[in-house]
Amino acid sequence: MSLQVLDSFYEGKAKTLFNTSDPTLIVQYFKDDATAFNRQKFGQIAGKGVVNLAITKALYKLLESKGVKTHLVDTLDERRMVSRRVEIVPLEVVVRNRVAGTFAKRYAVPEGTVLPAPIVEFFLKKDELGDPLITAEAAIAIGLATPQETQDLDRLARQVNEILKAFFLALNIELIDFKLEFGKLPDGTLLLADEISPDSCRFWEVGTGKKLDKDRFRQDLGGIEDAYAEMLRRVQSAT
Residue with Cβ nearer ligand TMP (121 or 149): 121
Tell me, rounded to whole angstroms, the distance of Cα 199 from its chain centroid: 7
CB of 34 to ligand ASP, least distance (A): 8
| Contacts of ligand TMP in 68-127 (CB under 6 A) | 94, 100-103
CB of 98 to ligand ASP, least distance (A): 17
Task: Give the residue, chosen from 7, 23, 39, 209, that forms a contact with ligand ASP under the rule CB under 6 A.
Answer: 39
CB of 232 to ligand TMP, least distance (A): 17
Q: Name which of ligand TMP, ligand ASP, none residue 35 binds, using a CB cut-off of 5 to 8 Å depending on partner kind.
A: ligand ASP
Q: Is the distance from CB of 120 to CB of 157 less than 8 angstroms?
A: yes
Closest residue to ligand TMP, Cβ-based?
101
Question: How big is the site for ligand ASP, counted in residues (CB under 6 A)?
Answer: 8
Alpha-carbon distance 36 to 108, whole Å?
Answer: 21
Task: Give the residue, chosen from 16, 19, 35, 159, that forms a contact with ligand ASP under the rule CB under 6 A.
Answer: 35
- Applying CB under 6 A, does 36 fall inside the site for ligand ASP? yes
| Contacts of ligand TMP in 36-55 (CB under 6 A) | none
Alpha-carbon distance 234 to 239, whole Å?
Answer: 9
Inter-CA distances, 99 with 15, 17, 95, 112, 140, Å: 28, 33, 10, 5, 27
For residue 72, what are the contacts with CB-CB under 8 A and spacing of at least 6? 56, 57, 60, 61, 64, 81, 83
Residue with Cβ nearer ligand ASP (85 or 125): 125
| Contacts of ligand TMP in 150-209 (CB under 6 A) | 177-179, 199-202
Give the footprint of ligand ASP on this chain (CB under 6 A).
Answer: 13, 35-39, 214, 218
